[in-house]
Structure 1
Amino acid sequence: MPTKIQDKIKFSILITTKNRLPDLVYTLQRIQHLIEREDVVCVICDDGSQDGTSDYILQHYPNIILHTNGQSRGYLFCRNKMLNETQADYAISLDDDAHFVTVQPLESIAAYFGENLKVGLLGLRVFWSKEQLSETTSTEHSIRMKSFVGCGHVWRIAAWRAIPNYPEWFVFYGEEDFASYQLFKQHWEIHYLPEVLVHHRVDIKARKTQADYSLRLRRSLRSGWYLYFLFYPLKSIPRKMGYSLWMQFKLKVFKGDWRALQAIVSALFDLLKATPKIIKNSNRLTSEEYRAYQKLEDARIYWAPKKE
């Protein structure tokens, strides 16, 4: 069981995992120096893994706080549970296949939050690739932005406690934008911190060829449409929906991507079925708030070193 003194905990590192033990082991090896610190607690939510993940953590990482779901309850359930239970000042959310490249990231994170009291969340600089990084420096500067990327970000817990939980009924995709709108309504800011670099070890191009491509697209589309109806001024929704549908047909369906057509139709039915939840949870921006939000910079999601 964890032995660290809770009063000293400043950072929590939160990881949700399911049946990806090799990825998780590598991540833990890369952040070992951080989770051994007295001011850090690492929490892992094993969402119904069948590959021995929980047994491995219990045996090799006794100081990690482990939550084990006997059956999968979804990563949003896990994120909500870990964020709601942490006693740390700042909560770092990492995917199980993502690790810090920056050797000492915590000092930069704490300093930025300390100097910017309106900032409720930091999005980190993320390199997406299975290849190793050859160059890690960046000339980017911190900016305020609309949203953030899920695989590497940091919550000021006071800001998390000021907004509703992630919507578990989204299932997959869209929760970052949901939280971003809620933060904006509560006058918290989201900033980009390029000083801290995360390596997300995924092959983005391979995702389209995977068997779950249609399901991923369906969930991505419907979450975007949920967000329109939850947060956008009513008069702007028809135009946004029309543009979204047109672009999907133009870029995918008209080029023969029939899996995309299946995803679009399914997502529209999902939207209709979600109507009661949308009505219950809507927190619509005023026209003035909407204009102010649209002026913010887009989320910095993908970073790559500049080629010579």
Structure 2
Amino acid sequence: MGESFSILITTFNRIQDLKFTLNSLQFFLNEGVKIIICDDASTDGTSEVIKKEYPSIKLLVNSVNKGLIYSRNLLMNQVQTLYAITLDDDANFLSLYPLENIIEHFQKEPECGVIAFRIFWGLEIPKNLNSDDESEIVKSYVGCGHVWRMEAWHGIPNYPEWFMFYGEEEFASYQLFKKSWQVHYVPKILVHHRVKVSDRKSQNDYGLRLRRSLRSGWYNYVLFLPLPQIPKRFFYTLYIQLKLKAFRGDFKAAIAIFQALLDLIYHLPKLILNRNRLTKVEYKEFENLSNTKIYWKP
């Protein structure tokens, strides 16, 4: 079974988080699962540690920092197995038998191109790991915990590297939908993303994260939505960001929103050139899908 899977991790200057994750995956290595890591030009000795302590792991190293999406494309295009699991360097499985559950679901659902895992965000493991959620078709998936049927990946364009960070999952999900593939949320498979989300606002990259998150949403509007929907969705999200952040004195957010607008204008020719719009019927069908399951709360 393990020979059907690759586990892909991109990392940058988080060697301690990465070691925790890799130690949690030792069983999968023993079962023949291929683990491939892309070190995106870390300066904390990441590559040296992997070579010394995890010699069976395939290591790719960017000589300069290329960004998350470039690294994910690099990893995905190294895969020679049927399925490719993507985990963040600070994420690990909590549920038992994830490989068995993945294969069972893909075999039962031939139109499923991506499985989105149930994800708990927090520094500590929750006391209750059980969930009453049922599997369902959803709009998209979360980057830190999902698995591709590689047949589906090979049928769509690579992630857009010029997005830099954020938005690549939605981009791929629209492309999958256009090719009649589905994204399924499978709560039976639980991942622990060891992140305290509330701390992000105080971190140095808060403004950059907001800028890239906002602009990637707008990029996908222009690429995929029917023309009449674009102004409504764009101005609504802009209004909400201004109302909840900029007009409440969040100076960093105000700058990020302005920068995101400039990014949108700059990339507009590329967006128009690469558009792959949903028809009115497709848009209605897509909007009727359940929303992406990002955070699970026990």
Give the TM bin, normalised by the shorter chain.
over 0.9
Q: Which amino acid is 1:118 matched to?
A: E
Residue 29 (str. 1) matches residue 42 (str. 2): no
Q: SS of 1:114's equivalent?
A: helix
Match of 1:12 among 6, 9, 13: 6
Residue 162 (str. 1) matches residue 124 (str. 2): no
Cα deviation digits, residues 136-185 of structure 1 (max 9, x gap): 11111000000001100000000000000000000010000000000000
Residue 245 (str. 1) matches residue 238 (str. 2): yes
Greater shift in the superposed pair: 41-50 or 76-85: 76-85
Instruction: Give the Cα–Cα distance (whole angstroms) in 1 for the partners of residues 142 and 201 of structure 2.
Output: 19
Does structure 2 conserve the Cα–Cα contact (< 8 Å) formed by 1:95 and 1:151? Answer: yes
Residue 90 (str. 1) matches residue 78 (str. 2): no
Q: SS of 1:144's equivalent?
A: strand
Does structure 2 conserve the Cα–Cα contact (< 8 Å) formed by 1:148 and 1:301? Answer: yes
Does structure 2 conserve the Cα–Cα contact (< 8 Å) formed by 1:124 and 1:192? Answer: yes
Matching residue of 1:49: 42
Matching residue of 1:62: 55
Instruction: Give the Cα–Cα distance (whole angstroms) in 2 for the partners of residues 133 and 28 of structure 1.
Output: 21
Instruction: Give the Cα–Cα distance (whole angstroms) in 2 for the partners of residues 129 and 11 of structure 1.
Output: 27
Q: How does 1:1-308 map to 2 (within 5 A)?
A: 9-38=3-32, 40-305=33-298
Does structure 2 conserve the Cα–Cα contact (< 8 Å) formed by 1:9 and 1:87? Answer: no
Matching residue of 1:4: none
Gaps of at least 5 residues in structure 1 are 1-6
Instruction: Give the Cα–Cα distance (whole angstroms) in 1 for the partners of residues 242 and 37 of structure 2.
Output: 40
Does structure 2 conserve the Cα–Cα contact (< 8 Å) formed by 1:217 and 1:263? Answer: yes
Instruction: Give the Cα–Cα distance (whole angstroms) in 1 for the partners of residues 97 and 38 of structure 2.
Output: 24
Give the deviation of 1:133 after TM superposition.
2.0
Give the deviation of 1:187 after TM superposition.
0.2
Q: SS of 2:87's equivalent?
A: strand
Structure-1-length-normalised TM-score: 0.95
Cα deviation digits, residues 34-71 of structure 1 (max 9, x gap): 12212x10000000011111111111111111101111
Q: Which amino acid is 1:303 matched to?
A: W
Q: Which amino acid is 1:50 matched to?
A: T
Moved over 4 A (4+): none
Q: Which amino acid is 2:7 matched to?
A: I
Give the deviation of 1:96 after TM superposition.
0.1
Q: SS of 1:234's equivalent?
A: coil
Q: SS of 1:274's equivalent?
A: helix
Q: How many residues align?
A: 298
Question: Taking every aligned residue pair, what percent have the same amino acid on both sides?
Answer: 52
Cα deviation digits, residues 60-104 of structure 1 (max 9, x gap): 111111101111111111111111121110000000000001132
Greater shift in the superposed pair: 291-300 or 101-110: 101-110
Give the deviation of 1:249 after TM superposition.
1.4
Does structure 2 conserve the Cα–Cα contact (< 8 Å) formed by 1:108 and 1:196? Answer: yes
Instruction: Give the Cα–Cα distance (whole angstroms) in 1 for the partners of residues 68 and 23 of structure 2.
Output: 22
| RMSD, aligned α-carbons | 1.1
Give the deviation of 1:8 after TM superposition.
7.5
Does structure 1 conserve the Cα–Cα contact (< 8 Å) formed by 2:2 and 2:28? Answer: no
Structure-2-length-normalised TM-score: 0.98
Q: Which amino acid is 1:108 matched to?
A: N
Instruction: Give the Cα–Cα distance (whole angstroms) in 1 for the partners of residues 158 and 181 of structure 2.
Output: 16
Instruction: Give the Cα–Cα distance (whole angstroms) in 1 for the partners of residues 136 and 98 of structure 2.
Output: 18
